[in-house]
Amino acid sequence: MPHLILVRHGQSEWNLEKRFTGWVDVDLTSLGKLEACKSGEDIKELKINIDYFFSSFQLRAINTLKLIQSTLRDSREPIKAWQLNERHYGALTGLNKDEMKKKLGEDKIHTFRRSWNIKPEPLSRNNPYHPLNIEAYKKIPKLKIPDTESLKDTYERVIEYYSSDIQNKLLENKNIVISAHGNSIRALCKFLFKLDDKKISLLEIPTGNPLLINLNSKQEITECRYLNKDRAKDLLIF
């Protein structure tokens, strides 16, 4: 029975500043690093062998995984996939969430953050925060790089990658850790837990708390739980 462990990166600098981050590269805070190390300790306590490590292309997810692997004494190179990136927040990128609530109204910001298929206005391609202007994405085909995304858009790229590059490894009974982001993990949970478009809007993913998912041979979930009970969130699946 394979184990799939999903970890949202530890608290980032822009999480702390309450800014829309999306595809911008920001690093972990001191707390975020501690959360990542604790994630590694929690995974270590499972006493299972991890066969593959995946992360997005983004610094906060990569560094979270590095700290997890360091705790596990595992120096293998992880598989990095841009498809596991956070949702692109378009023109909201870099802006303060509280300030935008005052400017646009709390309901509209909630809609942008939690709706299934509504996306913010596109980010100008001249903006330094646009992925086209970030070195990490230079090798990604330009047609694949978004100007903005809805959760639906994020879901489609995440699940396409999961189905082609991760699911087959789980079918071979391999244990996998994925270090990613709030919305890319929400997308995976929507797929794995079969959540509808409305229910997914209620799902919160805590930073730095591994979510253990056990799957049977039919890729059905037999068990799922956060490894840190004190910081667990409602999984909405029961």
Residues annotated catalytic, as ranges: 9, 86
| Nearest of 179, 165, 184, 173 to residue 215 by alpha carbon | 173
* Token reading at 92: 């909201």
In angstroms, the CA 124 to CA 121 distance is 9
